[in-house]
Amino acid sequence: MRKITNEDILYILAFLLALGVRLINLGDAALSETEAGLALQAFDLARGDLIMPAPQPGYLALTSMLFSLFGSSEAAARFWPALAGGLLVIAPFAFKRVLGRKSALILAFGLALDPGLVALSRQADGRMLAIGFSVLALALVYDRKPAAAGIFTGLALLSGPSIWFGLLGMGIAWGAARLVGISLGVRLFDDDQTTMEPASGSLGVLQTWIIFTFGTLLIIGTRFFTFPSGLGAWASSISTFVRDWAQPSGIPVARLIIAILVYQPLALIFAVVAVVRDWHYRKNLLLSLGIWALAALVLPLAFSGRQVGDVAWALVPLWVLGAVGLLDYFDEDAKNLVSLGQAAALFVLLSLVWLTLAGLHLTVVDAIRLRLLVVLGIFVLAVLTTALVSLGWNWMIARNGAVLGVSAALVGYGISVMLGLSQVHANNPAELWGVPPRTGQADLVAGTLRDLSLTHTGDVHAVDIVSLIDSPALRWILRYYPNAEFVASYDSDNIPAVVIAPMGSENQAWSAAYRGQDFSWWLYPGWEGILPEAWVDWLVFRKAPVQSEHILIWARSDLFPDDGVPEDESTGSIEEIIDIEK
């Protein structure tokens, strides 16, 4: 029996940490319109009602099985992406021979806490399934486990249009590397692992991989042969991917670049350092990963249907490069007391920069420039500190101290950004990692409908509801209301207890028989361009203009114990009141 080492314990901690930040409060944020559309299809599939599936059969099959076993909820709708994101941190364990043990550990924790990957892991769609399962498949192939690799390859292929996006980026990177004579320098099918080409005698391994891949496509794609249209949905994911190239999303190109700069500065900085500084030592590995990261970054910029989440394919190679770059600076000299003291000083100075920026919103306009000069002065002081240590001791000690201090500050920044993105303001449209619109006061809407139903019928889901708004997020809330229906217009011959209508319905004749309350429903970023005008407030607090669209919930007046109608006006029925208004 293999003995558990300290290294194994660290990988287990990374995995538990990754699962923790992805699963905690997973169901607190309301499902967005796109999330609710997929979750509803999984709900219908669990009941055997789905006819026209979305081109994400892997997500639909897996989530519908979860709904069948444990019931539907926001957390259950997001469970499989969260699990795929958590499993992603296991992949570095397989590549530790080529990356180095310490670099692989840094990579595992980086993938566990990356804000963008955590954000995608907490969204109910197939993008994280595509990224997580495809990377796991590569790791298992490298580790000579073709059966398991085939299973994850099949799951990745079933994850929807995003997998074709990722494969296209990998294919471009592979082709570009081949053109310049670069290979990864590792063998996937042989023990010596010196080339990417399959070794002689590897045919059995390749066949096993292919058999399990197609087996997974058939079994999971058809939900154990109960969902044959899943294979058609898988095929349609290719046409959906091609079609999205011609459908602009309205997301500015520069917003994707800003997302990488703001949310992943640590990985980006040290990835560039690794390629520039060490490429001649590990040319094949670093340049191949650099080309992959560049292709995965550039491809979304050319994609008309781009979303910020599309750049997540670049985060894996960026973190690999960043882990390699970071390790080069954490040698024995980094434990020098002078380096540690310098690192502490730089950490304090960079914290002061952040606190100064945070205080800008409390500063009068005339003093803002002064505070910005203070920020510049703190940066100058940090540079001077490094220079003095270099002159007093040596450049190696100063360099290690600077890298340790800056990386510690960026780790703290990254964790705070990740927690803000996933916990503090998970439903904030000012966050870039999400598909607008976000859903606003879903909890209030659900609670209001439950209270009205309980008061009127004695059951929390029995009230009759007519919705004049066809919203996937609203359909998700009403999925357990058997007497809810969605119609295009109000029918005066059928007077329901509750009507859900758009703003402006208060001018309709039928509204006189109801009491109404508006709720914020669709939330959009309230600015045009890359960032809000008050970009410092956005950077520090994610405060930004939000465009909100409201809906109205109308409850029939007789649902209330005291309907507020005077005695001399209360003799007519609801129908008569509507007729009078007409």
- 513-568 residue pLDDT tens: 899 999 999 999 988 878 888 888 899 988 999 999 999 999 999 888 765 544 44
- Confidence at residue 281, expressed as pLDDT on a 0 to 100 scale: 66
CA–CA distances in Å: residue 52 to residues 152, 365, 429, 482? 25, 56, 30, 22
Q: Is the pLDDT of residue 190 over 70?
A: no
Give residues with Cβ within 8 angstroms of 235, minimum separation 6.
none
Least confident of 65-79, 228-242, 325-339, 386-400: 325-339
Select the more confidently predicted residue: 391 or 76. Answer: 76
Q: What is the mean pLDDT of the chain?
A: 87
Residue 192 pLDDT class (50, 70, 90 cuts): very low
- Confidence at residue 197, expressed as pLDDT on a 0 to 100 scale: 44
Least confident of 164-168, 230-234, 457-461, 526-530: 526-530
Do the Cβ atoms of 549 and 498 come closer than 8 Å? no
Select the more confidently predicted residue: 47 or 286. Answer: 47
Q: Is the pLDDT of residue 177 over 60?
A: yes
- Confidence at residue 562, expressed as pLDDT on a 0 to 100 scale: 65
- Confidence at residue 520, expressed as pLDDT on a 0 to 100 scale: 94
Q: Is the pLDDT of residue 575 over 70?
A: no
Residue 335 pLDDT class (50, 70, 90 cuts): low
Q: Find the mean pLDDT for residues 481-485.
A: 94
The per-residue DSSP string of 417-464 comes to HHHIIIIITTT-TTSSSS-SPEE-SHHHHHHHHHHHHHHHHSSTT-S-
Determine if residue 267 is left, alpha or beta; phi over 0 gives left, psi from -120 to 50 gives alpha, anything else beta: alpha
Residue 185 pLDDT class (50, 70, 90 cuts): very low
Half-sphere exposure for 493 (CA within 13 Å, toward CB): 0
- Confidence at residue 563, expressed as pLDDT on a 0 to 100 scale: 53
Q: Which phi and psi angles does 516 have, rounded to 5°? A: -120, 155
Select the more confidently predicted residue: 91 or 530. Answer: 91
Do the Cβ atoms of 301 and 256 come closer than 8 Å? yes
Q: Find the mean pLDDT for residues 275-300.
A: 82
Do the Cβ atoms of 457 and 559 come closer than 8 Å? no
Residue-wise pLDDT tens digits, 133-146? 999 999 999 888 99
Do the Cβ atoms of 544 and 430 come closer than 8 Å? yes
Residue 201 pLDDT class (50, 70, 90 cuts): very low
Q: Is the pLDDT of residue 6 over 60?
A: yes
- Confidence at residue 285, expressed as pLDDT on a 0 to 100 scale: 78
Do the Cβ atoms of 324 and 276 come closer than 8 Å? no
pLDDT over 90 for what percent of the chain?
57
Q: Is the pLDDT of residue 189 over 50?
A: no
Residue-wise pLDDT tens digits, 124-172? 999 999 999 999 999 999 888 999 999 999 999 999 999 999 999 999 9
Q: Find the mean pLDDT for residues 19-39.
A: 95
- Confidence at residue 198, expressed as pLDDT on a 0 to 100 scale: 44
Q: pTM here?
A: 0.90
- Confidence at residue 138, expressed as pLDDT on a 0 to 100 scale: 93
- Confidence at residue 209, expressed as pLDDT on a 0 to 100 scale: 92
Q: Is the pLDDT of residue 400 over 50?
A: yes
- Confidence at residue 279, expressed as pLDDT on a 0 to 100 scale: 66
Do the Cβ atoms of 137 and 149 come closer than 8 Å? yes
Residue 577 pLDDT class (50, 70, 90 cuts): very low
Residue 578 pLDDT class (50, 70, 90 cuts): very low
Q: Is the pLDDT of residue 310 over 80?
A: yes
Q: Which phi and psi angles does 174 have, rounded to 5°? A: -65, -45
Do the Cβ atoms of 364 and 300 come closer than 8 Å? no
- Confidence at residue 106, expressed as pLDDT on a 0 to 100 scale: 93
Residue 572 pLDDT class (50, 70, 90 cuts): very low
Q: Is the pLDDT of residue 402 over 60?
A: yes
Residue 72 pLDDT class (50, 70, 90 cuts): very high
- Confidence at residue 523, expressed as pLDDT on a 0 to 100 scale: 94
Q: Find the mean pLDDT for residues 7-34.
A: 94
User: Which range scores top for mean pLDDT: 171-180, 199-208, 251-260?
Assistant: 251-260
- Confidence at residue 534, expressed as pLDDT on a 0 to 100 scale: 85
Q: Is the pLDDT of residue 569 over 60?
A: no
Q: Is the pLDDT of residue 253 over 50?
A: yes
Give residues with Cβ within 8 angstroms of 561, minimum separation 6.
none
Residue 179 pLDDT class (50, 70, 90 cuts): confident
- Confidence at residue 263, expressed as pLDDT on a 0 to 100 scale: 95
b/e code 70-83 from CB counts within 10 Å (16+ = b): eebebbbbbbbbbb
Q: Is the pLDDT of residue 296 over 80?
A: yes
- Confidence at residue 123, expressed as pLDDT on a 0 to 100 scale: 95
